[in-house]
Chain A
Amino acid sequence: MDATIFLSQIFAGLSRSMLLFFAGSGLTVIFGLLKIFNFAHGALYMLSAYLGFTFAAAFGSSLGLGGAVVVIPVGVALLGIFLERVIIKRIYEKEFLLQLIVTYALSLIIAESVLWGYGGNPRSIMAPEIFRTSFALGKVVIPYYQIFLIVMGIVVAFALWYVFQKTNIGWTIEAAVTDRAMASALGIPIDLLYALTFGAGCWLAGVAGVLSLPISAAAPGMDASMGVETFAVVIIGGLGNIWGTFAAALLIGLVESLGVLWLPRGSIVFVYVLMLIVLMLRPQGLFGRLVRGLK
């Protein structure tokens, strides 16, 4: 196999891993604290991609993408907080089927509304000026944007780790996860915490959506395809575990991009097979705990 193709696929896969990580970390954070598997996550990703497109297209791609990645995820987070207060809070501690119905219905509403507004044609933008070039690693050509994504992914992973392990708010969240009643009795504003956490999860999905634009177009069906891959990522990594999500995202991104070399049209199937194998051998995911928590 040609080494240059192999290497370029690795970088492509890693940058895709980072997108999967952004989306997956949001999902796993939401699940870790709120115990809700947010089936609407893919739709939020899609929403932010389309909105990011509009924003970036309006301001030109250099300023536009940067501005979009700052503004749009915040907007999506606010939407998330709104949804949490109005809808999501009603399904805490309820059975899984109900949570599935509600979040799946939300995903339908969001995704179809987006398509209603934008129509069925894919939209994409180019990477900002600085990133539009590539550099050469020997004979391999690697777009700077991929490097940017990889760096951002690592930065965000560390930032999340730091927040959860080393800061007050992280410990507060951990306390609320471990014993909600006690944390509330100690004066921790649980409702606010839940709302902010859901918002943070949506924010991460928003970042993923906006950053995906230079790589892949915003198109119908992206909520389902990215959604399912994100589910696979958090499940393989272990629900509630951020490093698990990171590892699983790396694994899945690489499996897909290298799988393309072997099976061009169906590399996604490797992901499903991987998921089946992992879950059969280790039902809680690679790094998950059997008792739900956030780590």
Chain B
Amino acid sequence: MSRRDSWVLVILLAGSGLAGFFLDTYYLNVGTEVITAVIFAMSYNIALGYGGLVSFGHSFFYGLGAYSVAIILRDTSLGFPIGMLIGMALSAFFGAVVAYVTRRSREVYFAILTLGFSQVAFFIIFTWYEFTEGDNGIFGFNVGRILSAPRNFYWLTVILAVAWFWVLLRVVHSPFGLTLKAIRDHEDRSKFIGLYPDKHKIIALTVSAVGSAMAGSLYAGMSKLVHPNLLHWMTAAQPLFMTLVGGINSFWGPAVGAVVYKIAEVFLGQITERWTLFIGVVLLAIALIAPNGLVGLVRRGERRTNPAPAGTRGKPDVTPVQ
């Protein structure tokens, strides 16, 4: 882990923490929401950017975290932290299951399969109304005396976020993380040198699932409302946007993207309901305006699966990832 990353963590912690003293309730909640989006995007990028897994299924884990909190708080007196931990544990389990089932699926098949998973989960939550209250959602639950204060909940979110980023940094810079990147860059070659891609991809997806669940739990704790839409695949597309806009190539890219996305959502959203049109334009522009395969946005230029034409070996367009 580079010194710069450590400094970023410290600044984030200090900056966000201090801001907590000065913000009023509305902005504290906005801040909490933005930070949960950042957690979601950063966790998602473990699968997308570092694992090369284009998933539309992370809304499953996000929603699982949210609903765990909601149901635990509604039906038991175990409190918010337990609810969140249960959500994270469940997501770890289901993340591993999904990853295992899809371990051999490539590219578009993987994407559509994960979409299917999140939609099945959405459907289950939507129709199991005895337990989840279906389309009505669960709302108004009590997060506990201490956490009900927006400022306290905001600080909890900040602390958990920074802690989780530290964990992700350790993961990414560990031998596991480096191996994961090798697998992402060229899975066949990684097999040739004796690596086992399945194991790494499963772990990567599980880690990203846990982070997504934490984000969902924190969101639920802040908004005190959960709805089946949290599991819909269109919710899963959000961290994808955020990561793409911010840059999948870098560790902090998704954080930037999440903030930009949220700002767009709030401000552009006030101007027009069709604000996602601008997201589309921005994405398209980013995707196309770059020489030779998008340095900085998309790492690899040439497709791995087609045999390279005679005389040209597709060279990986490797941009150093910090």
Contacts and interface: CB of A to CB of B under 8 A. Distances in A.
Interface of A: 35, 37, 87, 90, 93-98, 100-102, 104-109, 112-113, 115-116, 120, 181, 224, 228, 231-232, 235, 239, 263, 265-266, 268-269, 272-273, 275-276, 279-280, 283
Contact of A181 (B48, B113, B309): B309
A98 B287 contact: yes
B274 A115 contact: yes
B75 interface: no
Given A100-B54, A235-B108, A265-B127, A105 B283 contact: yes
A266 B126 contact: yes
The dominant DSSP class at the B interface is helix
A181 B301 CA distance: 20
22 contacts: A93-B302, A94-B303, A95-B304, A97-B48, A98-B287, A98-B294, A100-B111, A101-B244, A101-B284, A101-B287, A105-B279, A106-B280, A109-B280, A228-B115, A266-B126, A269-B119, A269-B123, A272-B120, A275-B113, A276-B101, A276-B117, A280-B101
Label chain A's interface by main secondary structure. helix
Nearest to B116: A272
Interface of B: 48, 54, 101, 104-105, 107-109, 111-113, 115-117, 119-120, 123, 126-127, 233-234, 237, 244, 248, 272-274, 276-277, 279-281, 283-284, 286-288, 293-294, 298, 300-304, 306, 309
Contacts of B304: 95
A116 B112 contact: no
Nearest to A98: B298
A115 B276 CA distance: 11
Given A95-B304, A101-B244, A269-B123, A279 B105 contact: yes
A279 B112 CA distance: 10
A204 to B, nearest CB: 19
B54 A102 contact: no
B303 A108 contact: no
A96 B277 contact: no
B57 to A, nearest CB: 11
Contacts of A120: 273
A53 to B, nearest CB: 19
Contacts of B237: 104
Given A95-B304, A109-B284, A228-B233, A235 B112 contact: yes
A215 to B, nearest CB: 22
Contact of A87 (B277, B281, B288, B306): B288
B274 A116 contact: yes
**Smallest CB-CB A-B distances: 9 pairs:** A108-B280, A112-B277, A105-B283, A105-B284, A96-B107, A272-B116, A109-B280, A269-B123, A105-B280
A94 B301 contact: yes
Contact of B277 (A37, A100, A113, A181): A113
Contacts of B286: 101
B109 A279 contact: yes
B108 to A, nearest CB: 5
Given A97-B54, A98-B294, A100-B111, 17 more contacts: A87-B284, A90-B288, A94-B301, A97-B48, A101-B283, A105-B279, A109-B284, A112-B280, A116-B277, A181-B309, A235-B108, A265-B126, A266-B123, A275-B112, A276-B101, A276-B113, A283-B109
Contact of A96 (B54, B281, B287, B301): B54
A107 B280 CA distance: 8
A280 B109 CA distance: 10
A272 B119 CA distance: 8
A112 B276 contact: yes
Contact of B298 (A97, A263, A283): A97
A105 B101 CA distance: 29
B77 to A, nearest CB: 33
A201 to B, nearest CB: 16
A273 B120 contact: yes
A235 B119 CA distance: 16
A93 B119 CA distance: 30
A97 to B, nearest CB: 6
B316 to A, nearest CB: 10
A176 to B, nearest CB: 14
A98 B287 CA distance: 7
Given A112-B280, A279-B105, A96 B303 contact: yes
Given A96-B54, A231-B112, A279-B105, A102 B288 contact: yes
A109 B287 CA distance: 14
Contacts of A35: 306
A94 B305 CA distance: 10
